[in-house]
A and B are shown apart, each in its own frame.
Chain A
Amino acid sequence: GAGVSQSPSNKVTEKGKDVELRCDPISGHTALYWYRQSLGQGLEFLIYFQGNSAPDKSGLPSDRFSAERTGGSVSTLTIQRTQQEDSAVYLCASSGTRDRGHEQYFGPGTRLTVT
């Protein structure tokens, strides 16, 4: 079946502009995660959605970052007033919740470059 998809694959934006990154999880997966991969910080957790519960936003680096998940499926990560330090690969992952320690399936990522 289809895996996790993300769009766009690459995004170049000017400093100060807003960007939206999209994630389509695997059908039926109730959990969705956003991570950021950058040279300076490695792989970092950003936010987690589980069904209709309130998201865990503990990893968001600033209030310029926000995310939503509509209808328990597609998620959008929004970065407002982008800064050069926001340049990174943004990875989305989804998982089922049937068992403890379930694996996360990752999308190919969106490479964001802020100029």
Chain B
Amino acid sequence: AQSVTQLGSHVSVSEGALVLLRCNYSSSVPPYLFWYVQYPNQGLQLLLKYTSAATLVKGINGFEAEFKKSETSFHLTKPSAHMSDAAEYFCAVSRQFRTGGGNKLTFGTGTQLKVEL
């Protein structure tokens, strides 16, 4: 079975400060890892994904994440927070279905990011 653990259900940073959202995964096979963002009353939007290519993945809105196999981590960072980054962030892991080619996502419990002036 695959799982992800997000440390910290709520994170608060000052505008302009570093954003660090933590995600650790558990998987018996090489995982695919994703970060999604959810703004209030909206669906999920993909920020970035790791699919076994480069370990440092750059995404939209200045976010990036580094896959560290030795630490089973995939933490999300952004050098300078902006007010518009306030949202809920979900880390997710996927596996291949035995038939077809889909990727069922298993999500973490989410981290609510608050950005203060």
Contact surface of A with B, Cβ cutoff 8 Å: 4, 31, 33, 35, 42-45, 48, 50-51, 53-54, 56, 59, 91, 93, 95, 97, 99-109
Chain B contact residues: helix, strand, loop or mixed: strand
- Interface size on B, as a range, is 20 to 34
**B42 adjacent to chain A (CB < 8 Å):** yes
Q: A100 and B100: CB pair below 8 A?
A: no
Question: Which residue on chain A has the smallest CB distance to residue B36?
Answer: A106
Residues A106 and B51 in contact in the complex (CB < 8 Å), given A45-B106, A101-B32: no
**Which of A31, A97, A100 is the one whose CB lies under 8 Å from B32?**
A100
Q: B107 and A43: CB pair below 8 A?
A: yes
**Which of B90, B102, B103 is the one whose CB lies under 8 Å from A43?**
B90
Q: B102 and A50: CB pair below 8 A?
A: yes
**Which of B43, B51, B99, B104 is the one whose CB lies under 8 Å from A101?**
B51
**B105 adjacent to chain A (CB < 8 Å):** yes
Residues A109 and B43 in contact in the complex (CB < 8 Å), given A100-B32, A100-B51, A101-B51: yes
Q: Output the least CB separation between B27 and chain A (Å).
A: 13
